[in-house]
Structure 1
Amino acid sequence: MDTPSADAAPARPLAMSDVAARAGVSHQTVSRVINRHPNVAVATRARVLAAIEELGYRPNGAARALATGSTRTIGLVTANSSQYGPAQTMLGLERAAREAGYFLTVSVLDDTGARTMTEAIDRLATQSLDAIIALSTYDEAVRALRQVQTPVPLIRVQAGPEGHDPAVWVDQEAGAALATRHLLDLGHRTVHHVTGPAGSIEAAARLRSWREVLESVGAPVPSVLHGDWWPASGHAAGRELVARRRGGESVTAVFVANDQMAFGLLNAFHEAGLRVPDDVSVVGFDNVPEAPYSIPPLTTVRQDFAELGRRGLQLVLGLLAGQEARPRPVAPQLLVRATTAPPARGRGRGEG
Structure 2
Amino acid sequence: MERGKARGGSSAAPRSVDVARLAGVSQKTVSRVLNDEPYVSTDVRRRVLEAAEELGYRRNNAARALASGRTRSIGVVTLGTALYGPASLLMGVERVVRDTGYALRVVNTMEGDPAGLAGAVSSLLDQGVDGIVISEPIDDEQSGDETLRVDVPVLVLGAPPPVTAPTVLTAGDGADLMARAATEHLLELGHATVHHLAGPQRWYAARDRQEGWRATLTDHGRDVPQVVEGDWSAASGYRAGRELAGDGDLTAVFAANDDMAIGLIRALTEAGRRVPEDVSVVGFDDIPVAGYVTPPLTTVRQPFDSVAQEGLKRLVHAIENPTADALPSSGPVVDLVVRASTAPPAIRKTPAHRRSTASRSQGDAPGPHL
Q: What TM-score results when the alignment is normalised by the length of structure 2?
A: 0.84
Q: Are positions 1:233 and 2:232 aligned together?
A: no
State the shift of 1:275 in Å.
Answer: 1.4
After superposition, the Cα gap between the structure-2 partners of 1:102 and 1:112, relative to the gap in structure 1 and judged at 3 Å, is farther
After superposition, the Cα gap between the structure-2 partners of 1:200 and 1:15, relative to the gap in structure 1 and judged at 3 Å, is same
Which residue does 1:179 correspond to in 2? 182
Amino acid at match of 1:253: A
Which residue does 1:331 correspond to in 2? 333
Counterparts of 1:79-118 in structure 2 under 5 Å?
Answer: 79-111=79-111, 115-118=115-118
Which residue does 2:193 correspond to in 1? 190
Q: Are positions 1:344 and 2:343 aligned together?
A: no
Q: Secondary structure at the match of 1:291?
A: coil
Counterparts of 1:215-294 in structure 2 under 5 Å?
Answer: 215-245=218-248, 250-294=249-293
Give, in whole Å, the separation in 2 of the partners of 1:297 and 1:214: 25
Q: Are positions 1:208 and 2:207 aligned together?
A: no
After superposition, the Cα gap between the structure-2 partners of 1:11 and 1:258, relative to the gap in structure 1 and judged at 3 Å, is closer
Amino acid at match of 1:294: V
Give, in whole Å, the separation in 1 of the partners of 2:202 and 2:58: 46
Q: Secondary structure at the match of 2:208?
A: helix
Give, in whole Å, the separation in 2 of the partners of 1:70 and 1:229: 40
Give, in whole Å, the separation in 2 of the partners of 1:22 and 1:99: 26
Which residue does 2:202 correspond to in 1? 199
Give, in whole Å, the separation in 2 of the partners of 1:316 and 1:294: 38
State the shift of 1:266 in Å.
Answer: 1.2
| CA deviation vs aligned residue, 1:158-210 (integer Å, no higher than 9, x gap) | 12598884322230110111011110110111101000002111111111121
State the shift of 1:256 in Å.
Answer: 0.2
Question: Quick one: percent identity of the two aligned structures?
Answer: 44
Give, in whole Å, the separation in 1 of the partners of 2:144 and 2:318: 21
Report if the CA contact (8 A) 1:161-1:168 is conserved: no
Give the stretch that moved more between structures: 151-160 or 323-332: 323-332
In structure 2, list runs of 5 or more residues that go unmatched: 1-9, 361-370
Give, in whole Å, the separation in 2 of the partners of 1:287 and 1:254: 16
Q: CA RMSD in A?
A: 2.5
After superposition, the Cα gap between the structure-2 partners of 1:241 and 1:12, relative to the gap in structure 1 and judged at 3 Å, is closer
Report if the CA contact (8 A) 1:252-1:280 is conserved: yes
Q: What TM-score results when the alignment is normalised by the length of structure 1?
A: 0.88
Q: Secondary structure at the match of 1:58?
A: coil
After superposition, the Cα gap between the structure-2 partners of 1:97 and 1:67, relative to the gap in structure 1 and judged at 3 Å, is same
Give, in whole Å, the separation in 1 of the partners of 2:105 and 2:194: 43
State the shift of 1:156 in Å.
Answer: 1.4
Give, in whole Å, the separation in 2 of the partners of 1:141 and 1:34: 45
After superposition, the Cα gap between the structure-2 partners of 1:119 and 1:290, relative to the gap in structure 1 and judged at 3 Å, is same
| CA deviation vs aligned residue, 1:222-248 (integer Å, no higher than 9, x gap) | 111000111111111111111333xxx
After superposition, the Cα gap between the structure-2 partners of 1:82 and 1:319, relative to the gap in structure 1 and judged at 3 Å, is same
Q: Secondary structure at the match of 1:47?
A: helix
State the shift of 1:20 in Å.
Answer: 0.8
Which residue does 1:126 correspond to in 2? 126
| CA deviation vs aligned residue, 1:254-300 (integer Å, no higher than 9, x gap) | 00000111111111122222211001000001111111111111101
Which residue does 2:368 correspond to in 1? none
State the shift of 1:56 in Å.
Answer: 2.5
| CA deviation vs aligned residue, 1:126-170 (integer Å, no higher than 9, x gap) | 113111111112132696696222232222111259888432223
State the shift of 1:42 in Å.
Answer: 4.4
Higher relative contact order (CA 8 A, sep 6+): 1
Report if the CA contact (8 A) 1:114-1:143 is conserved: no
Give, in whole Å, the separation in 2 of the partners of 1:69 and 1:315: 20
Aligned length: 339
Q: Secondary structure at the match of 1:285?
A: strand
After superposition, the Cα gap between the structure-2 partners of 1:283 and 1:74, relative to the gap in structure 1 and judged at 3 Å, is same
Q: Secondary structure at the match of 1:284?
A: strand
Give, in whole Å, the separation in 2 of the partners of 1:131 and 1:300: 34
Give, in whole Å, the separation in 1 of the partners of 2:23 and 2:227: 67
Amino acid at match of 1:52: A
Report if the CA contact (8 A) 1:136-1:142 is conserved: no
State the shift of 1:253 in Å.
Answer: 0.3
Amino acid at match of 2:82: S
